[in-house]
């Protein structure tokens, strides 16, 4: 059976069991700092289990894209080395929310595996929770009974499992329960006869593997640690799709299934290196196949590779693939992007977002590959230089600090450094490298450690209510607080029962303002979000914590921010109108000062297009379109309203829809009541930010007004200076042309004048021994010219000692220059000389031994200074 058929079979099977089939949630998670990527099938249903909102359907099944590359589950460095680790995988799952429980979950799992997929039951093993006396939880006999009715001969096929393997918990607190895992033995008959499978379950044997975990959520873990029975019981299951395919297709490796083989085959063709036979090459092909999947899906989900957070994780994954291609497959040119068609061919049907965004995915990957290859090239050059230097000194140990600098600052992989060392018969001081890395780790940990103190609860409040959509002031009480120390500065985090303060989210920066009670007033400098907590960052702790406070948002800043946020929506809409529907948001920043919007587009936005977009937005502003906001709208309904679906929305989630006429977006931010509040919209810059992504920055309202006024002021100044009512641009062009002509003339004259001055100085020059002293005070000569003249003299006459002074604009300047022969024979030092005489002009100076300059505030002393310098020079000759 092909992989696509297996997936289809799973979904169809549960469809017949009255399950609602839902699409996979995006892999990239927004607005949850504890989790960057979806790492399990149940992520998108977390809120249902937590009881935060009811399930829209009692039975659901799906295939969920998951990523395990950060945090607790980090498989990245394992991928490729073996046959079963992945960064991205699909999780097949079926769920019951307060509906069916253990009986059906077990029976259906059994039916699906044995009847639908035809896995022989003697190869199947089921584990059940053995119980825990400390927790006072008995063995899961209920599950064992159901399994007992499935197997024809249950002995040795139903096994007890420990708390570690068979009791599932979401976190420290919250829903949890026993689980039952299904393992499959895919060894040959001989091997199975020699050693029964039940002895190998949960021992890490690569061919006796867990494929499905059925979790029975029946308890709630309370803060004190005790378990209480839940009124509603849930089922949460997850089956690794790639593993399942390996079992069904009778392969020994996930990478041998038809999920990966087309990709690996394409990789072999593009690189010209076959798969099979060479460990290094095979590893590289597997790495590339796995990582391409991950990166392509992430980009399709709206997460571009970037320099921080989730985007940086994606960048590193891609770079790991490039690195393997570079070292093991000798690929020095971008090639991974060429494999995309193969991925689309095998997965495009199930995940249409891939083909829909093929162009941008290809471009982004190509650009990233190129950038990293460049980084590698730079690193190689640096290493070559170091190696050459070390060779000169006769050393053959490459310092760890150098390797660390290459790695830390320039991103050059250390294993590549090692490889190059081997090629050069040198060794890397790994010990020192690790030391440097550890000090960096400690530094980061220290920083993280001092940050947050424990929360102190004042009033028990479950969820802060955000009241800031329609007001900027409210009466609040403090729910909890904590002290946070960072870089020696103490700040206070406050959580209220309700708040008008908007917490930074969705690109919109947090509100600032103050809270007050009686005579006390505490400033709130920023507002941030941590999971569902809205945290107000205050400069100090209020005196009376239990008092009632007036919370006041800086309404001017808020208004400016709202202006910018609404303008962002209008511009998004206008961009799609003017340059096309391919425009999709790739990033957004909204502050009181400005707005910044990144979006997919493949060429420069022309002046005309920018003007049209600006024009269109201003039209919408002038039309005074009134906002329509729908809170708690089901996702499906929002999409039906024509909302531009952004990323990070989960199935079943209630969303907030903000619309201004034709502009309809899902958005949690604050907006103006009607577009005319924005006043004016003005684009200030446009540029590239990554391959296929452009960035526009703009301002609104009073900021736009002052931006425009600044420009007009400059224009006024220009036309004023031109003293002409005609076209200033034409006038200036004329002026520039005249100016260049004049400059050329002046340059010529200056050369002549300098020559004249020179000849005058030459005429007055005095010979002393083997040197000639040129001296004098010139009139109104700028320091640069003075230098030029002195320089010319010292070049034309090697025996010259030049001492010149000049006053201009109330400032005095001196220059001393020595011709080459003069410098040698006289042992004079220009710096010494100029320092000796510069006090005469109330200044100081310096330079090089053959040429020094000085400046001062007393032009009257110029003659004195020059005379003194001449006298000093003469004395030394």
Q: How far is the CB of 757 from RNA (least distance, A)?
A: 12
Q: How far is the CB of 56 from RNA (least distance, A)?
A: 35
Confirm or reject binding of residue 790 to RNA (CB under 7 A).
yes
Q: Which is nearer to RNA, 323 or 480 (CB)?
A: 323
CA distance 366 to 364: 5
CA distance 2 to 477: 60
Q: Could you tell me where the DSSP H helices lie in 393-456?
A: 400-410, 414-423, 430-451
- Which is nearest to 69 in space by CA: 24, 25, 29, 22? 29
- Which is nearest to 2 in space by CA: 180, 244, 283? 244
Q: Which is nearer to RNA, 528 or 645 (CB)?
A: 528
Q: How far is the CB of 387 from RNA (least distance, A)?
A: 18
Backbone phi, then psi, for 12, in 5-degree steps? -60, -40
Catalogue the E-assigned strands of 132-277. Answer: 158-161, 167-169, 174-185, 208-221, 227-240
The residue from 701, 787, 793, 870 that contacts RNA (CB under 7 A) is 787
Are 876 and 828 in contact by the 8 Å Cβ rule? The answer is yes
Are 623 and 675 in contact by the 8 Å Cβ rule? The answer is yes
Contact mark string toward RNA, 564..603, x via CB under 7 A = -------------------------x--------------
CA distance 766 to 753: 22
Q: How far is the CB of 778 from RNA (least distance, A)?
A: 13
Confirm or reject binding of residue 445 to RNA (CB under 7 A).
yes
Backbone phi, then psi, for 384, in 5-degree steps? -55, -45
Backbone phi, then psi, for 171, in 5-degree steps? -165, -160
Among positions 378-407, residues that touch RNA (CB under 7 A) are: 378, 405, 407
Q: Which is nearer to RNA, 539 or 662 (CB)?
A: 539
Stretch that binds RNA, among 2-10, 14-22, 409-417, 423-431 (CB under 7 A): 409-417
Q: How far is the CB of 801 from RNA (least distance, A)?
A: 16
The residue from 9, 75, 256, 408 that contacts RNA (CB under 7 A) is 408
Confirm or reject binding of residue 156 to RNA (CB under 7 A).
no
- Token output for 612: 């049209």
Contact mark string toward RNA, 308..347, x via CB under 7 A = xx--x--xx--x----------------------------
Are 667 and 588 in contact by the 8 Å Cβ rule? The answer is no
The residue from 38, 267, 659, 853 that contacts RNA (CB under 7 A) is 853
DSSP state letter for 115: I
Q: Which is nearer to RNA, 92 or 690 (CB)?
A: 690
Confirm or reject binding of residue 487 to RNA (CB under 7 A).
yes
The residue from 194, 229, 448, 729 that contacts RNA (CB under 7 A) is 448
How many other β-carbons are positioned within 10 Å of the β-carbon of residue 747? 10
The residue from 222, 441, 711, 713 that contacts RNA (CB under 7 A) is 441
The residue from 11, 437, 639, 705 that contacts RNA (CB under 7 A) is 437
Confirm or reject binding of residue 168 to RNA (CB under 7 A).
no
Q: Which is nearer to RNA, 157 or 315 (CB)?
A: 315
| Cβ density class 331-366: b for 16+ within 10 Å, e for less | beebbbbbbbebbbebbeebbebbbebbebbbbbbb
Stretch that binds RNA, among 263-271, 337-345, 702-710, 784-792 (CB under 7 A): 784-792
Stretch that binds RNA, among 117-125, 221-229, 302-310, 614-622 (CB under 7 A): 302-310
CA distance 585 to 572: 8
Q: Which is nearer to RNA, 309 or 623 (CB)?
A: 309
Q: How far is the CB of 148 from RNA (least distance, A)?
A: 46
The residue from 417, 561, 785, 826 that contacts RNA (CB under 7 A) is 785
Q: Which is nearer to RNA, 112 or 407 (CB)?
A: 407
3-state secondary structure 718-733: HHHHHCCCCCHHHHHH
Confirm or reject binding of residue 279 to RNA (CB under 7 A).
no
Q: How far is the CB of 841 from RNA (least distance, A)?
A: 9
Stretch that binds RNA, among 173-181, 183-191, 372-380, 570-578 (CB under 7 A): 372-380
CA distance 690 to 546: 50
Confirm or reject binding of residue 851 to RNA (CB under 7 A).
yes
Q: Is the dihedral of CA 458, 459, 463, 469 positive or negative?
A: negative
Residue whose tokens read 């958005």? 667
Q: Which is nearer to RNA, 427 or 848 (CB)?
A: 848
DSSP state letter for 840: G
Confirm or reject binding of residue 486 to RNA (CB under 7 A).
yes
Helix (H) or strand (E) holding 762: helix 728-764
Are 651 and 22 in contact by the 8 Å Cβ rule? The answer is yes
Q: Could you tell me where the DSSP H helices lie in 151-233?
A: 163-166, 189-194
- Percent helix, strand, coil in the chain (nearest 5)? 45, 25, 30
Q: How far is the CB of 169 from RNA (least distance, A)?
A: 22
Stretch that binds RNA, among 147-155, 185-193, 204-212, 786-794 (CB under 7 A): 786-794
* Contact positions vs RNA (CB under 7 A): 306-309, 312, 315-316, 319, 371-372, 375, 378, 405, 407-411, 437, 440-441, 443-445, 447-448, 451, 486-487, 589, 689-690, 740, 784-785, 787-791, 811, 813, 843-848, 851-856
């Amino acid at each position: 059976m092909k992989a696509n058929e297996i997936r289809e079979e799973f979904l169809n099977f549960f469809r017949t069991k009255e399950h609602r089939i839902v699409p996979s949630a995006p892999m990239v998670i927004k607005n949850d700092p504890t989790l960057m990527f979806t790492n399990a099938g149940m992520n998108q249903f977390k809120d249902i289990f937590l009881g935060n909102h009811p399930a829209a359907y009692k039975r659901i099944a799906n295939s969920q894209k998951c990523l395990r590359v950060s945090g607790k589950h980090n498989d990245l460095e394992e991928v490729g080395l073996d046959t079963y680790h992945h960064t991205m995988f699909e999780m097949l799952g079926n769920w019951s929310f307060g509906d069916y429980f253990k009986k059906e979950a077990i029976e259906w799992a059994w039916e699906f595996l044995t009847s639908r997929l035809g896995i022989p039951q003697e190869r199947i093993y089921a584990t059940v929770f053995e119980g825990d006396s400390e927790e006072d939880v008995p063995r899961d006999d209920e599950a064992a009974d159901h399994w007992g009715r499935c197997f024809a001969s249950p002995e040795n096929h139903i096994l007890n499992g420990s708390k570690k393997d068979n009791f599932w918990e979401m976190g420290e607190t919250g829903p949890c329960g026993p689980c039952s895992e299904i393992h499959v033995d895919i060894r040959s008959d001989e091997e199975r006869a020699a050693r029964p499978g039940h002895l190998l379950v949960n021992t890490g044997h690569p061919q006796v593997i867990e494929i499905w975990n059925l979790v029975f959520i029946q308890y709630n873990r309370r803060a004190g640690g005790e378990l209480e029975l839940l009124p509603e019981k849930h089922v949460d299951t997850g089956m690794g799709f790639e593993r399942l395919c390996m079992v069904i297709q009778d392969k020994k490796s996930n990478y041998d299934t038809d999920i990966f083989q087309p990709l690996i085959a394409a990789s072999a063709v593009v690189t010209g290196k076959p798969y099979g036979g060479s460990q290094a090459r095979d590893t590289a092909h597997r790495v590339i196949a796995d990582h391409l999947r991950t990166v392509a899906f992430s980009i399709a989900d709206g997460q571009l590779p970037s320099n921080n957070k989730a985007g940086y994780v994606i960048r590193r994954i891609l770079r790991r693939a490039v690195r393997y291609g570079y070292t093991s497959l000798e690929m020095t040119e971008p090639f991974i992007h060429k494999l995309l068609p193969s991925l689309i061919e095998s997965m495009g049907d199930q995940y249409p977002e891939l083909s829909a965004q093929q162009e941008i995915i290809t471009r982004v990957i190509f650009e990233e590959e190129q950038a990293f290859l460049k980084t590698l090239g730079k690193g190689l050059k640096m290493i070559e230089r170091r190696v050459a230097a070390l060779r000169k000194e006769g050393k053959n140990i490459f310092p760890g600090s150098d390797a660390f600098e290459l790695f830390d600052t320039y991103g050059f992989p250390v294993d590549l450094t090692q490889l190059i060392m081997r090629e050069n018969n040198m060794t890397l001081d790994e010990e020192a490298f690790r030391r440097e890395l550890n000090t960096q780790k400690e530094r980061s940990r220290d920083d993280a450690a001092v940050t947050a103190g424990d929360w102190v609860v004042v009033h028990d409040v479950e969820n802060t209510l955000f009241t800031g959509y329609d007001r900027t002031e409210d009466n609040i009480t403090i729910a909890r607080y904590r002290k946070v120390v960072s870089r020696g500065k103490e700040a206070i985090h406050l959580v209220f029962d309700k708040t008008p303060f908007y917490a930074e989210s969705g690109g919109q920066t947090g509100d600032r303002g103050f809270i007050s009670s009686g005579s006390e007033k505490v400033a709130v400098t920023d507002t941030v979000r941590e999971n569902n907590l809205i945290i107000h960052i205050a400069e100090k702790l209020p005196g009376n914590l239990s008092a009632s406070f007036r919370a006041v948002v800086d309404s001017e800043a808020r208004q400016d921010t709202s202006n910018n946020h609404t303008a962002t929506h209008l511009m998004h809409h206008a961009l799609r109108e003017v340059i096309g529907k391919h425009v999709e948001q790739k990033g957004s920043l909204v502050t009181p000062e400005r707005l910044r919007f990144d979006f997919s587009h493949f060429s420069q936005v022309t002046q005309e297009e920018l003007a049209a977009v600006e024009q269109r937005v201003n039209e919408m502003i002038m039309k005074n379109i009134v906002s329509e906001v729908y809170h708690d709208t089901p996702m499906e309904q929002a999409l039906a309203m024509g909302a531009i679906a952004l990323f990070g929305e989960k199935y079943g989630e209630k969303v907030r829809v903000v619309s201004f006429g034709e502009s309809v977006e899902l958005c949690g931010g604050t907006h103006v009541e009607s577009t005319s509040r924005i006043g004016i919209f003005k684009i200030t810059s446009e540029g590239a930010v990554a391959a296929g992504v452009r960035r526009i920055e703009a301002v609104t309202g009073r900021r736009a007004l002052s931006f425009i006024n600044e420009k007009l002021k400059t224009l006024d100044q220009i036309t004023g200076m031109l003293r002409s009512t005609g076209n200033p641009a034409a006038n200036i062009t004329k002026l520039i042309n005249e100016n260049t002509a004049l400059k050329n003339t002046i340059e010529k004259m200056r050369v002549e004048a300098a020559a004249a001055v020179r000849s005058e100085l030459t005429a007055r020059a005095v010979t002393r021994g083997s040197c000639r002293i040129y001296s004098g005070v010139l009139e109104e000569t700028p320091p640069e010219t003075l230098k030029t003249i002195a320089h010319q003299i010292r070049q034309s006459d090697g025996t010259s000692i030049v001492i010149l002074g000049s006053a201009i604009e109330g400032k005095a300047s001196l220059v001393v220059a020595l011709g080459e022969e003069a410098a040698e024979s006289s042992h004079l030092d220009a710096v010494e000389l100029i320092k000796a005489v510069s006090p005469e002009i109330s200044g100081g100076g310096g330079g090089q031994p053959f040429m020094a300059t000085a400046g001062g505030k007393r032009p009257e002393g110029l003659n004195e200074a020059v005379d003194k310098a001449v006298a000093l020079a003469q004395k030394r000759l």
